[in-house]
Chains A and B, each alone.
Chain A
């Protein structure tokens, strides 16, 4: 057999196959990383909005009544974010809100949102009581209010 007409050695075959496999794996890994980045952005957006919602809800219940009774409490509940696909399962997030007192009529609320895969988002806000509860100043039952113009 003349030189140049001989077949591949086992090492050459293994190396070439390995290079091919690594190229395909690299391509697949790039796709997976890209998808993960896209998904992570979506999950982060979800959790940011849910954390913001938690602080909004807490402000709604404390803006007139105050939050003295809530200080030191921890609220835990789940939020089901509906799927955008027909028949898709909702994504379940766990919301953990901890409340601590701050200044007079103020509380610090920390909302932590997590999903089953371990993604987390946290948001913190200082909530200030805007006005005393009308029921404490006026006759009970008169709860339809009007903002001074």
Chain B
């Protein structure tokens, strides 16, 4: 065999095969990693389309709504006044108001953002919440927060007044405040600013405050002289609140005691327990100054969010029980029987 016709040696074969394997593996790994990155980015793009659609939908909702607000950090609500029957009547006062009421709600357990409609149901407009038909919830939302920024704090260095506008009903407040929604999905994070587009061209002031009062009956019935004697003791107290925004917020005005009689039987038909009477007592009897809104529209210190409108009642009756023993124990310790007699 001539020199140039000989075959490859074993060493040459092994080396060349190893080199080929390494090159092939490198190329395959390169292709795989590139494909993985591309697939991930394509997935993000798909999620991005859903995110962009959600942003567009909320912007569109805000532009046609009369009110938009954040009742809690996981929810943004919208209200639009229409001629239809009221969809947000939570009490008799707002039952005659027509409109559509809907919201986007984040569910942290499923990481989804769904859209829901409020529909009226039954006497008094009790609300029913149903998922909006045809709306596919946004999935894989790792974070969703909503907050409201008043117009005077929207742009640094720009002076503006904050004008919350109540369009009637609990919490249905629009105006020039900006609702900021932040969503985080695999496609990225979006912060979208929402401003209700249907700004009123005329205003009606609601500075005429509305008043509500709660009447409490304190049952102080107790026994003394080692239980040989007893006394029925009922204390009626009134507590009056004032609101300027239809009970979205409220401020305490005054507390007072209506009467304190032995064996008094409380009746809610008593004219002294009517809210109007409570207002007169605060303003006339106690000369308590009416809490006024601050220049920026906010209510003074002590105002609490009105969180449970369904539990509110006008001139209703509550009970507060107090321990007679706890109240009179010091008097008994110090004064014995005489202290017990005096402590009632």
Contact = CB atoms under 8 A, between A and B. Distances in A.
Interface residues of A, number: 52
B41 A60 contact: no
A9 interface: no
Nearest to A135: B161
Interface in A41-61: 41-42, 45-46, 49, 52-53, 56-61
Contacts of A70: 158
A145 interface: yes
B195 A59 contact: yes
Given A81-B191, A147-B167, A38 B41 contact: yes
Nearest to A73: B158
Contact of B191 (A31, A53, A61): A53
A98 B199 CA distance: 23
Given A1-B4, A38-B45, A144 B245 contact: yes
Given A70-B158, A145-B205, A35 B188 contact: no
Given A31-B34, A143-B295, A145-B204, A61 B160 contact: yes
Nearest to B243: A144
A148 interface: yes
A140 to B, nearest CB: 6
B108 to A, nearest CB: 16
Interface stretch (B170-178, B263-271, B277-285): B170-178
Interface size grouping (class) on chain B: 35 or more
Interface stretch (B123-131, B179-187, B228-236): B179-187
A101 to B, nearest CB: 16
Contact of A84 (B37, B185, B245): B185
B59 A28 contact: no
B245 A61 contact: no
Given A82-B189, A84-B189, A149-B97, A143 B162 contact: yes
A45 B187 CA distance: 11
A133 B38 CA distance: 53
B45 A41 contact: yes
A46 B199 CA distance: 27
Interface string A1-32: 10001000000000000000000100110010
A46 B154 CA distance: 20
B151 interface: yes
Contacts of B188: 42, 45-46, 81, 83-84
